[in-house]
Structure 1
């Protein structure tokens, strides 16, 4: 009787070992496949991030912050962030009643106001304006004086037409 119990225990423990070995092997394969899948996704994300960084660098090419020659014009002024200062002064033109004086169109739905501003260099600004329904862009020449006053001059403009 003792022999049969030991035989059954041996067979039972052998089956448990076989089951653990097989399931461990399957778990190992599944884990390695998951790791490979995640590595592939990480590589794709790295490529995507690199492309996004290149697009950002390309978009920043025409900006005052990244133009050392243009920034040299403001070295003698005590301005921490010339782009922010110029943008704020341009947005102050929105505070006048009615349309912004730099926008050469009359608002159709509301008053035309400047929304987005891109300071290209030490002389030019590209700005977007809208009345809520219609929109356009203006190219502005500006001059920052030593007393921190700014003169804005409209160079060119366009108004997008809706095609419905």
Structure 2
């Protein structure tokens, strides 16, 4: 009787060992498949990231920050970040009561104020303005003087007819 118990115990342990061996193989295959999918996804995301970096570089091409020729005009002023300084001076024009004096339109839902600024180079600025419901864009010419004063001149403007 003792021998039969050991035989049944041995057979039962052999079946458990066989089950563990087969299931670990299947688990390994599933994990390998999952790793391959993740590696493919990682490669795809890296390609997307590289494409986005190239696109950002192209967009930043027209920016004072990345235009060494334009930045040379401000070397003698010893400004750490001329683009930020110019944008801050332009935003100061928003502090006046009523519409911004650089915007040639009267606000319909409120006062028109400049909200986005792109300093293109040492002479031009592209800015967006809004009154909260209506939107437009202006192109400004500017001159940064040696005393750090700035003169802004409106070159062109656009008010979008439809609202979103």
Which consecutive segments of 4 or more residues in structure 1 shift more than 3 A? none
Aligned counterpart, 1:94: 94
Alpha-carbon distance between aligned partners in 2 of 1:122 and 1:111, rounded to the nearest angstrom: 28
Equivalent residues, number: 164
TM-score (norm. length: structure 2): 0.96
Q: Which residues in structure 2 correspond to 1:117-132 (within 5 Å)?
A: 117-132=117-132
Alpha-carbon distance between aligned partners in 2 of 1:39 and 1:5, rounded to the nearest angstrom: 50
SS of 1:75 mapped into structure 2 = helix
Structure 2 runs not aligned, ≥5 long: none
Per the TM alignment, residue 31 of structure 1 is displaced from its structure 2 partner at its CA by 0.6
SS of 1:114 mapped into structure 2 = strand
Q: Which residues in structure 2 correspond to 1:76-155 (within 5 Å)?
A: 76-155=76-155
Per the TM alignment, residue 109 of structure 1 is displaced from its structure 2 partner at its CA by 1.0
TM-score (norm. length: structure 1): 0.96
Contact 2:135 2:163 in 1 (8 A): no
Q: Which residues in structure 2 correspond to 1:1-164 (within 5 Å)?
A: 1-162=1-162
CA RMSD of aligned residues (A): 1.3
Deviation per residue, 1:57-101 (Å, 9 max, x gap): 111010000000000111000211000000000001111111111
Structure 1 runs not aligned, ≥5 long: none
Per the TM alignment, residue 55 of structure 1 is displaced from its structure 2 partner at its CA by 1.4
SS of 2:143 mapped into structure 1 = strand
